[in-house]
Amino acid sequence: MRRQCFVMMMTIALILCTAALVQATDNPMGVANKQTIVFNNPTLVGGTLLPAGQYQVLHQMDGTQHIMVFKGVQGTKGEAKAKCTLVPLSEKAKQTEQRYTENAKNEHVLQEMTFRGDTAKHILEP
C-alpha cells in the first residue's frame, strides 16, 4: 500500500514537471501564445478595422518576425494580422492593458498590448 502511494506521488510529480517544461518551451519570449481581448469600439489593427467584440489573440512567428493574429469569438466576426515588436518588461505584468490612438478618421488604432503575467509587451506596427 505504501509503495503504491509512493509510485502515485512520483507519477503526479513527473506529470507536473513535464507540464511546466512544456509551457516554458512554448513560451521562450515571456509571452503567452494565446490571449483574449475585448474591443468596446471598432478598432483598427494592422490596417484592418475590426468591429467591437471579443477576439482571440494568437502570437505567431514568421521567421524572426512576430505576428499577432486577431480572430473574432463568441459571435464576433472579423480577423486581422499585425506585425509586432516585443519589448521586455522589468517584471511580470500585473494587469492587462491596451494603448490606443485615434487616426484622422477618428478610428481607434491599437498600438500596444500588455497581458497580465507576460514579461514583454507587444508594440504593433501600423
Q: Among the listed ranges 25-29, 45-49, 91-95, 110-114, which one has the minimum average pLDDT value?
A: 25-29
Q: Are residues 1 and 63 both part of a single domain?
A: no
Q: Domain containing 11: what range?
A: 1-29
Q: Is residue 45 located within the same domain as residue 87?
A: yes
What pLDDT does residue 26 have?
Answer: 45
Report the alpha-carbon distance of residue 116 to residue 105 in Å, rounded: 31
Same structural domain for residues 96 and 118? yes
- 4 CB-near residues (< 8 Å, 6+ apart): none
Same domain? 8 vs 60: no
* Number of residues that make up the chain: 126
pTM: predicted TM-score of the whole model, two decimal places: 0.73
Question: How many distinct structural domains can be found in the chain?
Answer: 2
What are 124's strand-pairing partners?
84
Asked if residue 11 and residue 37 are part of one domain, the reply reads no
Q: How far apart are alpha carbons 103 and 124 in whole angstroms? A: 15
